[in-house]
């Protein structure tokens, strides 16, 4: 046999086990999911529960199902979701529940493991905790319309939402302090650029309330939108007005002008309004040519937004 051909064949045979390991998934049918908490038949008056399980590391993801009553006599499907990870938090009103988990990958799955769970009625909110859904902690947004979501509690008649520019929630730094009857709140054009903190408590009117929830933070990065003069347009004489759209709540904007290929701006100006008049005196020593401009906002708490896109104009 030709020696180079034989060497090639032996090399390919040596690679075969590794390539098969990549292509073949683990058969999960003989593996078992171990439900850890709450234990089977657990009874609690705490509506917020964390379901925890364990599995072999070859399991990619899990199908978690929660029903009211039992899987043999379902009165309501509470949850049917694919989970990455081995735990999930949810709020359950008083009642009898079953929950089950199976491990899945692309071609096989484990059997289900099933546990019973009983949530007992309580007369007080003081023992309950709230589960905040969104905005999640450390989330960044490029819009100033923010939807707050949380899971409701059975005894809650209303919720008190607070949003502040500092986690102390000092009254001078409080931006939103709102009592809400729903389990959501849409906040539109009231914050502007910066980092903000939010928390929530549930209220049972004239009786009691939960403690404040965990504080979560989020940030808004609202870059100004340039409007005129249009990019690549021509200006035949000065003064010329430059305008843009800014976030609804901010201290001021800063506008930057560049000439030709210069890397540093020759002019930086602060503006309390979303426009600026470029005068002939501003361009002394520059003359005709290509000018570039961009804007960034300064938020109400002093934080800077991203820059707007850089636009070019020809000044004759």
Q: pTM score, two decimals?
A: 0.79
pLDDT averaged per 10 residues in sequence order, the chain, 316 residues:
54 49 73 97 98 94 98 97 97 98 93 97 96 97 93 98 96 94 92 92 96 96 94 96 88 95 95 95 94 92 89 96
Per-residue confidence (pLDDT) for residue 155, from 0 to 100: 97
* Spatial CA neighbour of 169 closest among 121, 214, 203: 214
Let me know: does 25 contact 63? Beta carbons within 8 Å: no
Residues of the chain with CATH 2.60.40.10: 34-119, 132-220, 225-315
Residue 272 has phi, psi (to 5 degrees) of -80, -15
Q: How far apart are CA 117 and CA 42, in angstroms?
A: 5
The residues, ordered by sequence, that sit 6+ positions from 39 with a Cβ below 8 Å of its Cβ are 115
Q: Are 249 and 190 in contact (CB under 8 A)?
A: yes
The CATH class given to the 225-315 domain equals mainly beta
- Look up residue 224 and give its two tokens: 């100004």
Q: Is the peptide bond between 239 and the residue preceding it cis, with omega within 30 degrees of 0?
A: yes
pLDDT value for 250: 82
Rounded CA-CA distance 231/78 in Å is 53
Q: Kindly state the tokens that stand for 114.
A: 């099933």
Domain spanning 34-119, CATH class? mainly beta
CA distances from 161 to 20, 132, 143, 248, 251 (A): 55, 11, 20, 21, 25
C-alpha 40: how far from chain center: 34
Q: How many CB atoms are closer than 10 A to CB 155?
A: 21
Distance CA 260, CA 308 (A): 19
pLDDT at 189: 77
Q: Which pLDDT does position 3 carry in this prediction?
A: 56
Phi, psi of 218 (to 5 degrees): -150, 160
Q: How many CA atoms lie within 13 A of 206 on its CB side?
A: 0
Please state the CATH superfamily assignment of the domain spanning residues 132-220 in this structure: Immunoglobulins (2.60.40.10)
């Amino acid at each position: 046999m030709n020696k180079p051909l034989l060497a090639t064949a032996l090399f390919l045979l040596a690679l075969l086990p590794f390539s098969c390991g990549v292509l073949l998934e683990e058969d999960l049918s003989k593996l078992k999911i171990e439900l850890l908490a709450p234990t089977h038949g657990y009874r609690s008056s705490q509506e917020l529960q964390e379901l925890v399980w364990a599995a072999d590391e070859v399991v990619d993801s899990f199908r978690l199902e929660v029903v009211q009553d039992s899987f043999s006599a379902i009165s309501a499907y509470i949850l049917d979701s694919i989970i990455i990870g081995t735990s999930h938090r949810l709020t359950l009103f008083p009642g009898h529940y079953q929950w089950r988990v199976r491990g899945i990958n692309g071609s096989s799955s484990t059997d289900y493991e099933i546990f019973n769970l009983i949530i007992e009625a309580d007369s007080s909110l003081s023992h309950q905790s709230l589960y905040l859904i969104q905005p999640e902690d450390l989330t960044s947004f490029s819009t100033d319309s923010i939807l707050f979501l949380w899971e409701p509690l059975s005894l809650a008649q209303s919720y008190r939402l607070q949003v502040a520019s500092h986690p102390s929630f000092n009254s001078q730094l409080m931006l939103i302090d709102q009592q809400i009857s729903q389990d959501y709140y849409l906040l539109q054009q009231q914050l502007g650029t910066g980092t903000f903190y939010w928390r929530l408590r549930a209220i049972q009117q004239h009786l009691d309330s939960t403690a404040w929830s965990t504080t979560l933070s989020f940030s808004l990065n609202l870059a100004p939108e340039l409007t005129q003069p249009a990019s690549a347009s021509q200006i035949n004489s000065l003064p010329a007005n430059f305008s843009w759209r800014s976030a609804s709540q901010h201290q001021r904007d800063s506008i930057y002008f560049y000439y030709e290929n210069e890397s540093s701006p020759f002019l930086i100006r602060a503006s309390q309004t979303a426009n600026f008049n470029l005068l002939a005196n501003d361009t002394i020593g520059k003359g005709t040519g290509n000018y570039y401009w961009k804007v960034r906002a300064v938020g109400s708490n002093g934080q800077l937004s991203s820059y707007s896109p850089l636009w070019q104009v020809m000044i004759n």
